[in-house]
Amino acid sequence: MYAVISTGGKQYRVSKGDTIQIEKLDKNEGDKVQFDKILLISNNGKVTIGKPFLEKSKIEGIVKSQGRDKKINIIKFNRRKHYKKQAGHRQSFTQVEITNIAEG
């Protein structure tokens, strides 16, 4: 059994027991998370597709950790013009373990 959920502007294919890394949620470690934007649920070959989301279905998870990705460097420069700009960025994320997929 698997499902496709939408969170943080991205879509994820999840199964029970999976650990996914999603955009930062304002939750603490150990808190429960419930996803309501479920696009699709497949249960032993029986596929249910939402229009656009499935009603009465829910996916639950537990926040495992909060963190930040590796730093990426952004460099802008024009050669021979004495112009150079540097910046860096670290994206925050939340790791969530999927505990239950309930089809409504």
What's the pLDDT tens digit per position in 52-95?
A: 999 999 999 999 999 999 999 999 999 999 999 999 999 999 99
**Predicted TM-score of the model (pTM):** 0.85
Question: Which tokens in the block code for residue 7?
Answer: 């969170």
What's phi and psi for 38, nearest 5 deg?
-100, 120
Q: What does the pLDDT look like over 11-49, one tens digit per residue?
A: 999 999 999 999 999 999 999 999 999 999 999 989 999
Give the residue among 37, 49, 50, 51 at the shortest CA–CA distance from 6. Answer: 37
At residue 104, the pLDDT reads 78
Instruction: Please state, in angstroms and rounded to a whole number, the distance separating the CA atoms of residues 34 and 48.
Output: 19
How many domains is the chain built from? 1
Instruction: Please state, in angstroms and rounded to a whole number, the distance separating the CA atoms of residues 33 and 98.
Output: 9
Instruction: Please state, in angstroms and rounded to a whole number, the distance separating the CA atoms of residues 7 and 80.
Output: 44
- Give the domain extent around 17: 2-102
